[in-house]
Structure 1
Amino acid sequence: MRSRSKITTLESRFPLLAIENDCIISKQAEITVCFELELPELFTVASAEYQAIHSAWHKAVKTLPDYTVVHKKDWFIKESYKSEQTGQESFLNHSYHRHFYERPFLNHHAYLFITKTTKERMRMQSNFSTLCKGNLIPKEVRDFETVRKFMEAVSQFERILNDSGFIQLRRLRENQIIGTAEEKGLLEQYLTLSVKNGSPMLDIALGSGEVRVGEKRLCLHVLSDTDDLPSTVEVDSRYEKLSTDRSDCLLSFAAPVGLLLNCNHIYNQYLFIDNSEDNLSRFEKSARNMQSLARYSRGNQINKEWIDRYLNEAHSHGLTSIRAHFNVLAWAEDEEEFRKLKNDTGSALALMECRPRHNTTDTATLFWAGIPGNAGDFPSEESFYTFIEPALCFFTQETNYQSSPSPFGIKMADRLTGKPIHLDISDLPMKKGIITNRNKFILGPSGSGKSFFTNHMVRQYYEQGSHVLLVDTGNSYQGLCELIKGKTKAEDGVYFTYTEENPIAFNPFYTDDGIFDIEKKESIKTLILTLWKRDDEPPSRAEEVALSNAVSGYIEKIKQEDEFPSFNGFYDYIQTDYKKILDEKNVREKDFDLANFLNVLEPYYKGGEYDYLLNSMEEVDLLNKRFIVFEIDAIKDHKILFPVVTIIIMEVFINKMRRLKGVRKLILIEEAWKAIAKEGMAEYIKYLFKTVRKFFGEAIVVTQEVDDIIQSPIVKESIINNSDCKILLDQRKYMNKFDEIQAMLGLTDKEKAQVLSINMNNDSNRNYKEVWIGLSGTHSAVYATEVSLEEYLAYTTEESEKIEVMELAEKLDGNVEDAIRQIASKRRETLVN
């Protein structure tokens, strides 16, 4: 049973007095301004950017007055992923959230506390801590002028960091500091070491041998002496696991005790800004004393040399003398976990080439000084003298991946922990001016996971209301299309493919609403011109006029007579009614050769070789179909069918593009773009990529051959230059060619290092592949494409797995969803057993 004499109330020892104007006022009359920090994301910062961040911190710290404490506190808390599901989620979306449910990850929050204290308080030692005093008598707040100058300096500090473009400071308000009835504030979070609301009452045991907060046992490692520090420090460090002999993946110097330390912990970073001149004068005096005593001890001589070096650095480079302290406060509830985190923390410090020092004596004092606003209570003997620049190298400068605030986007996963993140690579970057179009260029060799990523992306686009049109050459989207078709009862999920038994067929004259606008007429004319004329045989002006009149005349005829439109009907109109019109106008044969026209188009008329192609009797208006796949692998080398099909595909999308106002449209062209370009369709691609952005649309091209992007002028001029979003998958097999790819895509060295790090350090316990996404050379990162088993079965391109799904679906009356659900359930049972 505890001795009551050792128990006291928190209120009697609590060092803080009040919150005034969102500032913490301590009972020692110290003022603390509180900020929340927004840092760059992990693995997204290059060496020059780390230097810029370091420089911004240095400039900001130098604006602060003497006797100020800068306390940066980084919280790293283990949490579990909880999805915000709605009741109307799709089958695949629900399976995705279920796959990630309770996925553990390390969450990061960074805070900054700037405290104005006094010369006397800065020199206090641990035995003078407020923790040791019987009671605290509040002092009067210092004079107004001192407070005013301090707040001005803090404002300058904030402006310098915010203007850097890398770090954002947000001032914490009173409710965020002390909390509300519903939510914990920062003070309560720290005193319970928990960010969860509704935790039990405060129970803190601060002993000399062990410190506990509730059931949490604290483990403290400190860097408080120069003997603990490495011989040299850098602004950044090379992360070997994601680096190659051709590229460097960089992290901040202190990253090992940040996100890379996978346990509940707080990393405290203190800078104590004394009067630099007083510090240097004291060192001058100490050096003279050492000099006079050097004859009695070699240690005094060595110390004198170290002091001289410190003074020489300060005077020759105009450096500011400060004190610093860094510590890692970790906690665990059971003994085995405590031993593990103690070893892990020591190892993390060793990776920084520091000497790990597990502190048991001053844990309580340092924990108490870590209370937000109580930095003035920090024991001076636990700090060491240094300069601002090297001290700032011990600041963590990155955070974990952050979800986009945009309502539109796709779900990807954090490459370090696998936590799902919401990523907008279209709307928000457009709004911020990062990109000027939504087009995307995707490059990845066979087996790199292109199909999974594109399936995953277009499925989420579709579920968010987009119209999706896919041009494929390998049945990559068949499973997803069939799933959508079954779910929407054939309202969506239209799959066009060519087989001898069921050849591909269209009706270019059919519209669901009977509207034939200019775009529809022009697309029909383009189609007929392609059938009539060769690429090297442009039509004359008279022929264009005659054809335009023929199309308009036929459209008027079907409107008046309520006739079902078809190519057969158009052909009949040409050789009857339109022939009479030409005769009446005395149109000469050299201006429009009607016999030649009918002869060339006869194969597409009833009884002709391709009479099925343009005479589909199905009343399918693709304008309102939201998910369409054209699988053209069987006809991509066919000189007759392929040009016709590609024109119809382009006509379908351009029709959507112009007529569907305020609706997102997406066209994704797989390897088919190569064949399209060969068949004289380059102008369509150029037009598409330059125009689609004006109609709330995206054009996406996917390829796997490096030589394609290097050698094709179509890709270079039309696709790459008009695609502000570039997406690359594993390129390591092209490592020797990557300089050419880098030059062609205009990638920076940072982006090159990110791309070459793909899949280098994947977690063997998770099944995923990584993908690099870059936006206009300014924002880029590597993400994980991880999906549920149900999504895998919908996206898979493995022939045996596709057959298994489709055969079972056939037994279930075509229900692909039930087939996937049953196969996934069976596989999970097999894994468990």
Structure 2
Amino acid sequence: MRNTSRSATLESRLPLLAVEGNCILSKDADITACFAVRLPELFTVAPAEYDAIHSAWHKAIKTLPDHTIVHKQDWFLKEAFRPDLAQEGISFLGRSFQRHFNERPFLDHYCYLFLTKTTRERMRMQSNFSSLCRGVLVPREARDGDSAAKFMEAVSQFERILNDSGLVSLKRLSAEDILGNGAEPGLLQDYLTLSKSGTGVLQDIALGAEEVRIGNNRLCLHTLSDADDLPGSVSPQSRYEKLSTDRSDCMLSFAAPVGLLLGCNHIYNQYIFLDNSEDNLRQFEKSARTMHSLGRYSRSNQINREWIERYLNEAHSYGWPSVRAHFNVMAWSDDPQELKQLRNDTGSALALMECKPRHNTVDAATLYWAAMPGNAGDFPAEEGYYTFIEPALCLFNQETNYRSSSSPFGIKMADRLTGSPIHLDLSDLPMKRGVITNRNKFILGPSGSGKSFFTNHMVRQYYEQGAHVLLVDTGNSYQGLCELVRSRTSGEDGVYFTYTEENPIAFNPFYTEDGVYDIEKRESIKTLILTLWKRDNEPPTRAEEVALSNAVSGYIERIRHDAGQAGFNGFYEYVGQDYRQVLEEKRVREKDFDLANFLNVLEPYYRGGEYDYLLNSDRQLDLLSKRFIVFEIDAIKEHKILFPIVTIIIMEVFINKMRRLKGVRKLILIEEAWKAIAKEGMAEYIKYLFKTVRKFFGEAIVVTQEVDDIIQSPIVKESIINNSDCKILLDQRKYMNKFDDIQAMLGLTDKEKAQVLSINMNNSPSRLYKEVWIGLGGTQSAVYATEVSLEEYLAYTTEETEKMEVMALAAELGGNVELAIRRIAARRREEQPT
């Protein structure tokens, strides 16, 4: 059967003539400047910021001349995550993470802005005058040579206003971006194929009254083209109930339901038509008089007159220019059944905005054609409605999906909405941009909030990127990961220390491999001895500080001239003999420095004392080259003497790394052990660590789960929180009633509070994950998902039965923890129901 339908080539119908000066020129002499728009991330914008964005758009649009069309086009395309499994140097757990997210669907977002200068006649054309309805398109010449120059000046002002807002940014598209090159298609081809894959091939385009078909894809188009379809009131933002509480509000833009929250392939077109406002108002005055004259014949005429007069009163009272607006959602699918579902989903999304969904079939073809980049002048005038700029802007989509950091260093997390992997740099790029001034981190999360999973996930990725990691743990949270590291490095790395009476942690505070005693080493020794000597509530006098400093300096000088081995025993003997003579020569009074009391207090750590093993180790641990070290001190966490001393021993190991490893990233993570070193007598030590570590390319991280610890301890605030520019909080709903105190202590804004309280409130039941809030420098913050593969779960788990299962199988396999994890993961996947 012969096909009798009329057809034409795209070239003959294409309303665009050329791209010159990075502007699209249409055959009707319209000029269009094209921009890529960068919007803030979803769930990260506060109400005041939405108002600021709205105000910036308003100011920018007011700079544009009459007969300009503002066309904002948001693309939302369903994509699938495709990892680079052939990447070199990727670890076993890193590859497991990539495989876990393989083919994970997510919605990608692209936002464009087209500013089109057209003519009064073109803006009045209706759908039957579209270029689709003309047999031949003959290029016209622009009548006014100055109008193009003035328009481009206004475009430059428009761009500068939005970029200066700091919340929205525009980037001018080049001719190559619009037209493409030999390797990749441009924006025009993307639109004509409804694809961003980079391999889009032009297919048949069927534009009919019943359906619009692009290749195999059929369009479903809903419009907002009548004021009666809109809600009674609009605002720049709306409350997102799923992530809001009675104490906090999660805000999204008013149009968010037809943005990222509409999970299908669709384009959201937003138009504002800048007519001559005076002409519009004169026409409304004329219509009002006509309605008044006909009011006696119909009540509807009286009502229409009242509405027109209210519109005129608003325009004249506030000086608002009269404009037209239009919004439409174009969704598509190649499956007829799915297309029906898309129609329902889009209608529901518009209903969530309290709009009346109208499925438009009559003008679908002309609306699709007019939405082509650079062809807004073809928009049918009858599809717009009269309004003002401010209410029209409320229907703009104002947020985008989460973006990965451009930095090569960072950690992998997941988007909280779609679960797609994202790359976050919490250290280097924020430092470079001045968002933070140090890399230190403070982590707060109650038991069961996923704290250990997040910290395992973070330190594992730091280690794999070359960092030296030292962990101080009080609950075997990192044993599995440490054993895996040891297994993979054949024992060269992954050192796990745990305190037992048979094999206690011990060291020599006076030992240095290179014989150098710089200021950091001296201060470390003095802090340790001061801790042994004084109680928490017994600060030393100035005379005692000087005496102790002189004693340490004198013993160090003795070491340099004496070939004997340095140690705490030697220091004790030096103070009791030689330093005693020094004090007598200086006539230091006993009330200024009680030497007998000093020696008596330190005697338990001297040869033959109860704790003589702690500070007199003859085995010098070579931990400088070990990149993954865990000190597990749960057995002594309640011991008033051993706990603080062993903690400082561990600090000495890290400070040695900090001083000697030049240009190497160093990380120390302290779990509940920080309580011991945050007491009055040792506050200076932790202050020194947190203030100094940044100078040595290092990070100090503290982790706690008790909210009272941070509320009641001023030392924590002064030494830890104030010197931690990165704050990480997990599920705080247990502390809902105490959160005002936490907010004040951490200096969180109301926006950050709302983000924290939204954690885990709307988790997807199809994925297993916990959410975490990350704030940087008080200026950037967002909630992310900690989602890991089954292999990572087995490496991170703190469940004793699961850890024992892994370790038992690893023992059977000759200590190969990786192989044990592989086998257990494979077995569990087989057991899962399909």
The one-letter code sitting in structure 1 at the alignment partner of 2:558 is G
**Matching of residue 9 in structure 1 with residue 14 in structure 2:** no
Alignment match, 1:271: 272
Alignment match, 1:571: 569
- Maintained 8 Å contact 1:184/1:196: no
- How much has 1:383 moved relative to structure 2? 0.9
Which one is further off, 450-459 or 371-380?
450-459
Alignment match, 2:64: 64
Structural mapping, 1:15-414, within 5 Å:
15-85=15-85, 86-414=87-415
> Deviations for 1:442-477, whole angstroms, at most 9, x for unmatched residues?
111111111111111111111122222222111111
> Deviations for 1:703-742, whole angstroms, at most 9, x for unmatched residues?
1112111110111222122222211111111111111111
- How much has 1:392 moved relative to structure 2? 0.7
> Deviations for 1:624-670, whole angstroms, at most 9, x for unmatched residues?
32222222221123233223212212222222222222222222211
Structural mapping, 1:788-807, within 5 Å:
788-807=789-808
Alignment match, 2:496: 495
- How much has 1:777 moved relative to structure 2? 2.2
The one-letter code sitting in structure 2 at the alignment partner of 1:554 is I
The CA distance in 2 between the partners of 1:319 and 1:596, in whole Å, is 83
Change beyond 3 A, Cα 1:423–1:502: same
The CA distance in 1 between the partners of 2:510 and 2:800, in whole Å, is 37
> Deviations for 1:33-68, whole angstroms, at most 9, x for unmatched residues?
000000011111111111111111111111111111
- How much has 1:686 moved relative to structure 2? 1.4
The CA distance in 2 between the partners of 1:823 and 1:127, in whole Å, is 67
Which one is further off, 108-117 or 128-137?
128-137
The one-letter code sitting in structure 2 at the alignment partner of 1:571 is N
The CA distance in 2 between the partners of 1:555 and 1:482, in whole Å, is 40
Change beyond 3 A, Cα 1:715–1:572: closer
Which one is further off, 423-432 or 521-530?
521-530
Change beyond 3 A, Cα 1:585–1:755: closer
- Maintained 8 Å contact 2:270/2:396: yes
The CA distance in 2 between the partners of 1:81 and 1:712, in whole Å, is 45
- Maintained 8 Å contact 1:512/1:620: no
- How much has 1:829 moved relative to structure 2? 1.1
Unaligned runs of 5+ in 2: none
SS in 2 for 1:774: strand
The one-letter code sitting in structure 1 at the alignment partner of 2:727 is K
Structural mapping, 1:695-734, within 5 Å:
695-734=696-735
- How much has 1:496 moved relative to structure 2? 1.7
Alignment match, 2:810: 809
> Deviations for 1:327-365, whole angstroms, at most 9, x for unmatched residues?
000000111111111100000000011111111111111
> Deviations for 1:65-121, whole angstroms, at most 9, x for unmatched residues?
111111000000000112345221111111111111111000001000000000111
The CA distance in 1 between the partners of 2:382 and 2:682, in whole Å, is 76
Equivalent in 558, 570, 581 of residue 553 of structure 1: 558
The CA distance in 2 between the partners of 1:468 and 1:247, in whole Å, is 37
> Deviations for 1:740-774, whole angstroms, at most 9, x for unmatched residues?
11112111111111111110000011111111111
Alignment match, 1:461: 462
The CA distance in 2 between the partners of 1:614 and 1:465, in whole Å, is 31
Change beyond 3 A, Cα 1:547–1:70: closer
The CA distance in 2 between the partners of 1:123 and 1:141, in whole Å, is 18
Change beyond 3 A, Cα 1:288–1:267: same
The CA distance in 1 between the partners of 2:68 and 2:534, in whole Å, is 82
The CA distance in 2 between the partners of 1:289 and 1:31, in whole Å, is 37
Alignment match, 1:483: 484
- Maintained 8 Å contact 1:442/1:700: yes
Aligned residues: 826
SS in 2 for 1:399: coil
The CA distance in 1 between the partners of 2:150 and 2:595, in whole Å, is 91
Q: Percent identical across equivalent pairs?
A: 74
Which one is further off, 787-796 or 486-495?
486-495
Structural mapping, 1:525-564, within 5 Å:
526-528=527-529, 530-531=531-532, 536=538, 539=544, 541=546, 544-554=549-559, 556-558=561-563
- Maintained 8 Å contact 2:58/2:393: yes
- Over the aligned positions, Cα root-mean-square deviation in angstroms equals 2.5
- How much has 1:292 moved relative to structure 2? 1.5
The CA distance in 2 between the partners of 1:745 and 1:211, in whole Å, is 55
SS in 1 for 2:720: helix
Change beyond 3 A, Cα 1:62–1:531: closer
The one-letter code sitting in structure 2 at the alignment partner of 1:705 is E
SS in 2 for 1:263: coil
- How much has 1:285 moved relative to structure 2? 1.0
SS in 2 for 1:148: helix
Which one is further off, 298-307 or 178-187?
298-307
The CA distance in 1 between the partners of 2:509 and 2:545, in whole Å, is 24
Change beyond 3 A, Cα 1:207–1:810: same
The CA distance in 1 between the partners of 2:526 and 2:676, in whole Å, is 22
Change beyond 3 A, Cα 1:362–1:529: closer
The CA distance in 2 between the partners of 1:674 and 1:619, in whole Å, is 28
- How much has 1:492 moved relative to structure 2? 2.4
The CA distance in 2 between the partners of 1:27 and 1:226, in whole Å, is 32
Normalised TM-score (structure 2): 0.94
The CA distance in 1 between the partners of 2:800 and 2:600, in whole Å, is 43
Change beyond 3 A, Cα 1:351–1:677: same
- Maintained 8 Å contact 1:211/1:217: yes
**Matching of residue 623 in structure 1 with residue 628 in structure 2:** no
Which one is further off, 653-662 or 437-446?
653-662
The CA distance in 2 between the partners of 1:2 and 1:520, in whole Å, is 92
- Maintained 8 Å contact 1:525/1:548: no
- Maintained 8 Å contact 2:16/2:375: yes
- Maintained 8 Å contact 2:680/2:715: no
> Deviations for 1:241-277, whole angstroms, at most 9, x for unmatched residues?
0111111111111110000000000000011111011
- Maintained 8 Å contact 1:550/1:578: no
Change beyond 3 A, Cα 1:16–1:552: same
- How much has 1:305 moved relative to structure 2? 1.7
The CA distance in 2 between the partners of 1:89 and 1:737, in whole Å, is 43
The CA distance in 2 between the partners of 1:663 and 1:747, in whole Å, is 32
- How much has 1:128 moved relative to structure 2? 0.9
- Maintained 8 Å contact 2:54/2:393: yes
- How much has 1:200 moved relative to structure 2? 2.7
Alignment match, 1:474: 475
- Maintained 8 Å contact 1:254/1:395: yes
SS in 2 for 1:233: coil
- How much has 1:606 moved relative to structure 2? 6.1
Change beyond 3 A, Cα 1:395–1:204: same
- How much has 1:585 moved relative to structure 2? 12
- How much has 1:315 moved relative to structure 2? 1.2
- Maintained 8 Å contact 1:650/1:684: no
> Deviations for 1:761-816, whole angstroms, at most 9, x for unmatched residues?
00011111111111222211111111111111111111111111222222222222
The one-letter code sitting in structure 2 at the alignment partner of 1:48 is A
The one-letter code sitting in structure 1 at the alignment partner of 2:321 is T
The one-letter code sitting in structure 2 at the alignment partner of 1:488 is T
- How much has 1:542 moved relative to structure 2? 5.0
The CA distance in 2 between the partners of 1:577 and 1:671, in whole Å, is 35
Alignment match, 1:441: 442
Which one is further off, 309-318 or 685-694?
685-694
The CA distance in 2 between the partners of 1:348 and 1:359, in whole Å, is 16
**Matching of residue 820 in structure 1 with residue 821 in structure 2:** yes
